[in-house]
Chain A
Amino acid sequence: MNKNMIITGLVIFVLAVLSPFWFNMITTTQAAPEPELLGRAKTEKKCVLDKYEMRANHMALLDEWRDSVVRSSDRQYKAANGHTFGMSISTGKNSCLGCHVDKTKFCDKCHTYASVNPYCWDCHTNPKEIE
Chain B
Amino acid sequence: MMEKSRRSFLKVAGIAAIGLGASPAINFASSDSRGTAHAVKSKNKEALHARRWGMVIDTGKITDEIAKSVSKACHKAHNVPDFNIKVDEKKYPHTRPVNHKQEVKWIWEEHFDNAFPDKEDEFLAEKFHGLPFLVTCNHCKHAPCVRACPTQATFKREDGIVMMDYHRCIGCRFCMAACPFGSRSFNFRDPRPFIKKISPNYPTRTKGVVEKCDFCAERLAKGKLPHCVGASKGAIVVGDLEDPKSEIRGLLNEHYTIRRKQSLGTEPSVYYIM
The CA-CA distance from A86 to B200 in the complex, in Å, is 16
The CA-CA distance from A80 to B38 in the complex, in Å, is 5
Point out the residue from B33, B40, B47, B201 that lies within 8 Å of A53, measured CB to CB.
B33
Which chain A residue shows the least CB distance to B209? A123
Beyond A53-B31, A70-B167, A123-B206, whether A76 also contacts B201 by CB under 8 A is: no
Q: Is the CB–CB distance between B39 and A125 below 8 Å?
A: no
Q: Is the CB–CB distance between A70 and B163 below 8 Å?
A: yes
Q: Is the CB–CB distance between A125 and B41 below 8 Å?
A: no
> At the interface, yes or no: A122 with Cβ under 8 Å from chain B?
yes
Q: Is the CB–CB distance between B39 and A75 below 8 Å?
A: no
The CA-CA distance from A73 to B161 in the complex, in Å, is 11
> At the interface, yes or no: A110 with Cβ under 8 Å from chain B?
no
For chain A, give the interface size range.
Answer: 20 to 34
Beyond A78-B39, A122-B206, A125-B198, whether A73 also contacts B217 by CB under 8 A is: yes
Interface string of A41-55 (1 = CB under 8 A from B): 000000011101100
Q: Which of A8-16, A21-29, A32-40, A60-68 lies at the interface with chain B?
A: A60-68
Q: Is the CB–CB distance between A53 and B35 below 8 Å?
A: yes
Which chain B residue shows the least CB distance to A89? B203
Point out the residue from B32, B205, B206 that lies within 8 Å of A50, measured CB to CB.
B32
Q: Is the CB–CB distance between B44 and A75 below 8 Å?
A: yes
Q: Which residues of A contact B201 (CB under 8 A)?
A: 91
> At the interface, yes or no: A114 with Cβ under 8 Å from chain B?
no
Which chain A residue shows the least CB distance to B79? A125
Q: Is the CB–CB distance between A80 and B221 below 8 Å?
A: no
Q: Which residues of B contact A49 (CB under 8 A)?
A: 33, 35-36
Q: Is the CB–CB distance between B42 and A76 below 8 Å?
A: yes
Which chain A residue shows the least CB distance to B163? A70
Q: Which residues of A contact B167 (CB under 8 A)?
A: 66, 70
A-B contact pairs, 20 of them (CB 8 A): A50-B33, A52-B27, A53-B31, A53-B35, A71-B155, A72-B41, A73-B217, A73-B221, A75-B44, A75-B221, A76-B41, A77-B39, A77-B41, A78-B40, A79-B39, A80-B33, A80-B35, A125-B198, A127-B200, A130-B198
11 new A-B pairs (CB below 8 Å) besides A48-B39, A50-B32?
A: A52-B33, A64-B36, A70-B165, A71-B165, A75-B47, A76-B44, A122-B206, A123-B203, A123-B204, A123-B205, A123-B206
Which 8 pairs show the lowest CB-CB distances between chains A and B? Answer: A50-B33, A80-B38, A74-B41, A123-B203, A80-B34, A78-B40, A122-B206, A130-B198
